[in-house]
Amino acid sequence: MGTRAKTKKVKDAGEARQDVLRKVAASKELSFAEKGKLYHWDRPVCQGDRVNSKDSPNCLCALIPPPNGVRKQGLWCKTPEAVSALGEDPTFRKRVSHDDPIGLTNLGATCYVNAILQCLYMNADFRKGLFCTEEQLLEGNPVLRQLCRLFVKLQLSNEDPVDPAVFAKTLQLDNGVQQDGQEFMKLLLTLLEKLLEQSAQPDVRNLVQGLFRGTFSYVTRCSVCGNESDSSKNLVDFYELEVNVKGFEGLATSLDDYLGEELLEGDNQYMCERCNARVDATRSVKLRSLPPLLNFQLKRFVFNNKTATKKKVTSRFSFPISIDLHSRLTPEPQAPSSSEPEWVADGSSEGLYDLAAILVHKGAMATSGHYIAHVKDERTGDWWQFDDELVTSLGAHPLGEAAANASAKAAKEAKENGQKPEEKEGGGENEKDAKGEESVGPSKAEGVAAAEVLDPNLLTSADSYMLMYRRRDARQVAIMQRQEERRRRKAEADAKKLEEERIRADAAGKETKRKSEGEGREKVPKRARTGKAAKDEVAGTSAEKAISLDSPAQGSREGVHTNGVGEAGNGGKSQNGVHGSELLDEVETIEAPEALVREVENDNVAFDAAIEAYKSERERIEAEVNQRRREVREILAEAAADPKEYDFRWISTEWLRSWADNKDPPGPIDNTPLLCEHEGVPPRSVPLMKRINKVTWAELDERYGGGPELTGEECCVECIRQDASAAQSADSFRTRRTLMRERLEQELALGAPGTHYVSKQWLAQWQRRRLVDAPSDADKGPTAALRCKHEMLKPEFAPGAKRQLVSGEFWDYVQEVAEEVAGTNDPGHWEMTVNTLECATCSVELGEEMSNREGLKSGKLAEKAALEALFAGRPLPLTESVNAFLVPSKWLDSWRDYLGATGKTLDVIGEPPPLDEALAAVFCKHGELAVRPPELVQRKNDLVQEQKDSALTVVSENDWRQLQQRWHSSREITAVVGPPEPKSEVPKESDTKEAAKPACVPRLKTVPEVCEACYKERLDQELAERLSYRQQEIIVELFPGPDPPAHVTGAGGEGERRSRRVRKVSAVRGGRMTVKVNADTTVKDLKMTIWERMEVDSQNQRLGFLKSELDEDDKILADYGIVANSRLWLINTGEHDNRDIVECFEPAEEAGKMENGFRGTGLWGGATSDYSAGEGVQDTDMKDADGSGSADGDGSSEARQLPDKAADDVMGTVSEGEASGRWSCERCTLENSPGRKMCSVCNADRS
């Protein structure tokens, strides 16, 4: 129903009610039908409307939702509140399959813990060694026991995800603070190595060393004799290799730098024992042995010396799926015996490694972000993504099947186009392929914002943080070969199935061709191969993916499934039906400690019991709720009373709604709010009550009690009579008002003489008011605007005092109504007749004011006419023989505003200040000018003042004399045209866009002359004022190309006029926008605003002003001389990938907060990083300038694994040649020189 229809319906109902009340007032009687109209029970019973009508007591609609409807709360809530109070359904946490890995709960900011634990757990050798730990040792070490228990739960628990809270508490980790994932892994392995030393089993005692420890040597070779130093044979242990990301394309080039030679020359010459002299030499790192698990720590976080904060390197970094390190390995003839556990040393290949895990740091900030892990299941060859609770199958590819398919397609097309694999280094997700089509790749939510390059063995990522490689052994080769065989057979089965479906579709098409063609297109993929062609293609694919020790490649399969999320119903299987569980019968089962197994089994029993208890309690609650819902529906279905039935009952709408909508029924029925002071039911209670039949009332009364019981006989006759009387009075008031309005309109139309004054404005408002039933405040004050401050009649020409003569009859009416509203003593309706005299005092005052205004107006007109050219702002033509005068430009502007003010602005704009005062402002303390005279320009044949902002304006002698006489000035500034002079000052930055002026244009010479010292001081003061602005606009313009145009930087000669109109920004076409800034806005904040509005990453912004580039983020705009309305240029370099700007805003409380790392936790106390280096290894070949040796082995994890190619005194400095031999601080990641024992920024110990 439309708004007009609803309004008409309400209006008709109101008129009907008024008609009934008029009849009651006239007859003093009330019939049943009239009661029905007054109480609205004559209205029909509603039939399922969506809303409840307050005006109809017969409307019981919308008290409950429709049969299939729900509400947000109450009895009809989709999930009953009592069920919600039970908490989460434990069934959602039930593990889908024990053949698939499960997740770990994020305790707040413990994603780094979860990612590292999943990498360690998924390594079968590490898990097996940990499970072999003696029971006595586990009981005596809470960390070992809780870690083992956590791994047993990951293996056997029925609950997904597993809660690591007890383990985190044992390590005393702060769950609300995010830490460095690499540092956590280092310290955890250090702690485990120390704890496992107590084991009596060699394989357990050497677990960490046997899996993660390798060796290298610092080799120093004389460039003269070729002799290697004795210390070059010393072996240095490492547990990971830390490689640089910044400046390198991938792992291969970074390793080349890591193992490359550095020339020792000059002050860093080597003291050769064979040559017995200081000679040039080379120094390098030689890998001697590699561990079964080789970790590459990528240096994504670097220290910013300017801000003393960490910064993340977001450059793309490529790494291989399989890597052959034979060529980089230089084993020693007397290599130490291997400490590898016996189950990992059999049949392995020393230098051939397969990617086993990728630790990913998502986010652009070093102090925040999110860690996830991509880990390969050694049993099946499948890859899994671990994102805290969410575990997703990626198939046979580290980044998922979509990335593998996209890479294969790009490689095939590149091969067809004759491209080499090296022609493309890799790109971001959803890059366009060679045909311009968008490739399907993993989303950023998957953590690795990368795609494969054309080489299928190479991956590229902008977020990879740690790479874990596993040495290939015979067991892994066998598993991969069996997996490929099963995939090959499954592919053949799929091809056969497609062929059968095609045959069935062809058969069906003979009967219904159009329909069958549609079904055929749905069932048979467009690019599917059938028959022999399909088998040949599958065979070819399998041949290409065959695993060899020379060039290993991973297989692929279609589909990605999620464990516990989304496709949980598939039982943990991939969409192609091939699952790693088919291989588990051929893989050794890892036995967990019996005591911990029993604990986990008990937890499983308790968890299963919790599921059953929840299910039972939920069924009980839902049964109660359903019973209550049936009761409400059944009662309301029979509750309506017939409109013609007199024997009905009234019931409170509030109670009825509460009863129908709440799970728990309300208290006894309460109808007392429906009663009036006469203990009856008045008509005004209609919106508060509903009408039900007596049977329903009896049922509700029996169940809930209460009352009182109100029948149709309880209508309050006294309230009805009062309403009837009020309606009669309203009719009388409305009738009389209508009559007076008609008579007034007739008098005004005929121009009949009146006897009393009323305010003309008040009378107009009174006429515009619609008909009302009673007097209101608008009827007050008919003569209030006509009274002056002397309590007399205002003159008619006074502002707001216009009046209208009305008849005596009309005045009597309006005075009567006004007295009824405001009282008899209110001065707003004092009587004023035609004989009332105007206030003489007010008349005199108003006359004088009007006379002054006329005089002021005529004086302005005369002055404007006398100085017409100056008032219009026309430039004065100058010659060498004519003297001119200079007037302050600001004073002239206020003078023009004063003379131009008319009408309402006449009294608003005052006179300009005295001319003497304005001239004093341009004189300095030495009595000379503190500002320069305006410059001149040749316009057509006249020499005139240049039209631009200038402190002084040239006027003629005649105009100056008139101004001097009218505005009183004892000072004057004369000016004559002098010969041309070169500019003595450098133009301001804001003047760089001026047009070039001819060199022959003369200049003005003034008396008094310009004081150069005061002028410079004034310029500095004005510049300081211009650089002290707030919330002013500047213009930022984005230009395509590598450099800004010359006219923008001020290097292009003549300036170019540009519109300040904001244009839509495009990375190709460019664009312009205005930004509101303060003088103290930092360059960093401005770049973040540009990033947000122009979508240009701050790392890709070349921002500049004139010839200066804004390259220091900590400087403010005033430091670069940027004032309001300045124009800045912007270039998008495109060097870095676009990021989400939200990732770059760290919380204010975290900014500038000193990092404490893992101090105070169980990882720090008593544990050191010694697992990353050899004990006490020193390089005695490095000599200082005086020939003395310098020790280079100090126990630091990073110091021992990094190739320290030079050394200086403790706390000394490092020269250029020693830059590559620096070590990274554990706390702030600052690269320090190799000889430092403490970090030069945070003073943290190197060890």
pLDDT in tens, 1194-1204: 333 333 333 33
Please name the amino acid found at residue 1153.
K
Residue 384: strand pairing partners: 375, 393
DSSP structure class, residue 1183: B
- The separation between the first and the last C-alpha atoms of the chain, rounded to the nearest angstrom, is 81
Of the listed ranges 495-504, 765-774, 1176-1185, the one predicted with least confidence: 1176-1185
CA atoms within 13 A on the CB side of 268: 23
At residue 723, the pLDDT reads 80
pLDDT in tens, 62-77: 888 888 888 888 888 8
Question: Which pLDDT band holds residue 519 (cuts at 50, 70, 90)?
Answer: very low
In angstroms, the CA 281 to CA 226 distance is 9
The CA angle 874-880-884, to the nearest 5 degrees, is 45
| For range 1158-1182, the mean pLDDT | 47
What is the pTM for the complete model shown? 0.58
Please name the amino acid found at residue 392.
T
Angle between the 808-822 and 717-750 helix axes, to the nearest 10 degrees?
140
**Which residues are known catalytic residues?**
111, 370
DSSP string, 692-718: EEHHHHHHHHHHH-EE--EEGGGB-HH
Task: Tell me the torsion sign for CA atoms 1215, 1218, 1220, 1221.
Answer: negative
Would you say 167 and 146 are in contact if contact means Cβ atoms under 8 Å apart?
Answer: yes
SS3 159: strand
Q: Which two tokens stand for residue 266?
A: 């000059």
Would you say 1090 and 1130 are in contact if contact means Cβ atoms under 8 Å apart?
Answer: yes
Would you say 1238 and 1223 are in contact if contact means Cβ atoms under 8 Å apart?
Answer: no
At residue 1165, the pLDDT reads 53
Burial class of residue 972 in the structure, from the number of CB atoms within 10 Å of its CB (0-12 exposed, 13-18 middle, 19+ buried): middle
In angstroms, the CA 1085 to CA 1074 distance is 15
Omega of the bond leading into 708 within 30 degrees of 0 (cis): yes
B/e letters for 527-538, b = 16+ CB within 10 Å, e = fewer, are: eeebeeebbeeb
Virtual torsion, Cα 358, 364, 365, 370, nearest 10 deg: -40
| Most confident stretch, 161-175, 394-408, 582-596 | 161-175
Mean pLDDT of the chain: 76
pLDDT higher than threshold 70 for residue 430: no
Q: Which two tokens stand for residue 159?
A: 């609950």
Question: Which pLDDT band holds residue 936 (cuts at 50, 70, 90)?
Answer: confident
In angstroms, the CA 107 to CA 348 distance is 39
% residues pLDDT > 70 (the chain): 73
Burial class of residue 992 in the structure, from the number of CB atoms within 10 Å of its CB (0-12 exposed, 13-18 middle, 19+ buried): middle
Of the listed ranges 651-660, 765-774, 908-917, the one predicted with least confidence: 765-774
Phi, psi angles (nearest 5°) of residue 970: -95, -15
* Cα dist from 319 to 296, 341, 399, whole Å: 10, 28, 13
Residue 1036: strand pairing partners: 1073, 1128
In angstroms, the CA 518 to CA 541 distance is 30
Residues 6+ apart with CB under 8 A from 211: 123, 125, 126, 129, 291, 292, 293, 340, 341, 344
In angstroms, the CA 248 to CA 226 distance is 31
Would you say 726 and 668 are in contact if contact means Cβ atoms under 8 Å apart?
Answer: no
pLDDT in tens, 985-994: 444 444 433 4
DSSP string, 746-783: HHHHHT---SEEEEHHHHHHHHHSPP-SS--GGGS-SS
pLDDT in tens, 170-206: 998 888 888 888 889 999 999 999 999 999 999 899 9
Question: Which pLDDT band holds residue 1013 (cuts at 50, 70, 90)?
Answer: confident
pLDDT in tens, 234-263: 899 999 999 999 889 999 999 999 999 999
Question: For residues 78 and 612, which has the higher predicted lDDT (pLDDT)?
Answer: 612
Residues 6+ apart with CB under 8 A from 397: 383, 403, 404, 554, 556
Pairing of strands 942-945, 952-955: unpaired
Q: Which two tokens stand for residue 528?
A: 């599917």
In angstroms, the CA 674 to CA 681 distance is 6
pLDDT in tens, 739-766: 888 888 888 888 888 889 999 999 898 8
At residue 921, the pLDDT reads 87
* Cα dist from 397 to 375, 382, 595, whole Å: 10, 7, 37
Residue written as token pair 């009183």: 968
pLDDT in tens, 541-600: 333 333 333 333 333 333 333 333 333 333 333 333 334 444 444 445 688 889 999 999
Question: For residues 627 and 475, which has the higher predicted lDDT (pLDDT)?
Answer: 627
In angstroms, the CA 6 to CA 12 distance is 10
DSSP structure class, residue 673: G
Residues 6+ apart with CB under 8 A from 82: 621, 625, 663
Residue 236: strand pairing partners: 216
The CA angle 991-997-998, to the nearest 5 degrees, is 160
Question: For residues 1230 and 728, which has the higher predicted lDDT (pLDDT)?
Answer: 728
